[in-house]
Every structure is written in structure tokens, then in C-alpha cells.
Structure 1
């Protein structure tokens, strides 16, 4: 199903990860604070890193995860067929329609734009992430 909202995991902050170290930092902070968030690939990562990379990186991750496929509807379709629940793709209306049908069949969601997300900084990532998650979970 196509999700026209800014995000398809309501009320969860989003954090960009690109490697196992990033994911480990997110998991440690999430466990320490006892909060949730969703993890998001870098922009267009489905095209240049691939669906298998994201599947391997997020295997066993209990957090919702989203693969950004840029404008590549084929990569988004491959991700949905591989069992990924959330993909982001900026595609033509015909491609979006086809992806919506595929998502409905696979139980996935297709976003047409990236949600707002925290890019982890190179330095003090855990501190920055902790402040971000605390601020976003003050409801």
C-alpha cells in the first residue's frame, strides 16, 4: 500500500544507519532509554548498496526498518519481494500503482518521500541520539 504520510511508522523517531556500528549504537541507546525508533537507510541506498545489503544489516533487528530506493522502482519491488515491510521510492504514477499492488500482496508499505530522520554524526553519536530520542519521546 502507498503511504502518503511523511512516515509509515507513526509516532516513532527515525534514525539513518549505514553500517553495523550505527545499528549497534541505536540498539544500545534504545535499550538504555527503553524507547523505540525506526531505522532508515541513507538516501538511495537501495540502488547503490542493494537489497541484500539492507537485509543483512537489519536481519534480527526488532526495530522497523526502511530502505530508500531513490527513483528505482525495480529495487523497491525487489525489496518488497524479499520481505521488507517499508520501502521509499520516488517513481512515476504507473510505477507507484504497480508497487502499491505488490505491497498489498506482500504486506509492505511504499513511501513516496523520505521521513524526517536523524543522521548520526561521526562524533558523539550516542549522545546526539540519546538527546534526539528523549526529545521525540516526550509525549
Structure 2
């Protein structure tokens, strides 16, 4: 499902960098929250952060099906939830109603370094075919 590169973001600055770089390179990519951020920061934080984002976005809810369900109900289009099969089926059913999707495993994702993120991100995005 995710042939496009994924980049972990945790703030508006990171999101702006990824969005601008992807647009300038004309590369598709997906932004992903830090692991378990859906449990720690919550769906409202993610919804606000990615509200104007033109890129696909995934909120990682770890092993918490309840947080993933709340995120889907809050309008999050993509959640990651590593949960038992029965809970996964329930989340998929909810996602059908809300127009979202559920992933069981976190995709490989670039963690931006605290310094020099621009060149690292550019090299990473250029490594994927357009």
C-alpha cells in the first residue's frame, strides 16, 4: 500500500519541511506520527497538525484499539494499530464507515534528525522512483 516514502513528523516545522520538499521534488510521500503518538498526544493533536496537509498522513496508535477508534471517529484518515485480530476487524469496519483505513504495522519511515534535516530528507526522497 505504501510504495511512497514515509517520513516521521512530530511538529508543524517538520511537516512544513516535508511538504515543501515533496512538492519541490514532485515526489509523493506519506507523513507518519511518532510511534504511539495517538495514545500520548491524541487524535485532536494530529487532526490539527495535518489539517492543511496535502500528503497522506498516518497516526500511530500503538496497541490501543480504543485510541485508533477515537481517531477514526475524529476524522483521521489513516491509523496504525497493532492489535488482536478481533479488534482489527472492528477497526476496519469503523474505517469503512468513516472513510479511513487501518494498518496493522508501522511502515518504514525516515526519522528526521534534529539538525541538518533538509539535506537528509532530500537524499531520502530522491532515492525513491517518481
Do the two structures share a fold, i.e. TM-score over 0.5?
yes
The question of 1:34 aligning with 2:15 is answered: no
Q: Which residue of 1 aligns with 2:86?
A: 94
What's the TM-score once normalised by structure 1's chain length? 0.90
Pick aligned residue for 2:40 from 35, 48, 55: 48
| Cα root mean square deviation, aligned | 1.0
TM-score (ref. length: structure 2): 0.95
The 1-side partners of 2:57 and 2:17 are apart by: 15
Return the alpha-carbon distance in structure 1 between the equivalents of residues 95 and 44 of structure 2.
18
- Shift >6 Å, 4+ stretches: none
Q: Runs of 5+ in structure 1 lacking a partner? A: 1-7
Structure 2 residues without counterparts, runs of 5 or longer: none
Q: Deviations over 1:36-75 (max 9, x none)?
A: 2100000000000000000010011000000000011011
Identify the residue that residue 128 of structure 1 maps to in structure 2: 120
Question: Offset of 1:11 from its aligned partner?
Answer: 2.1
Structure with the greater relative contact order (CA < 8 A, sep ≥ 6): 1 or 2? 1
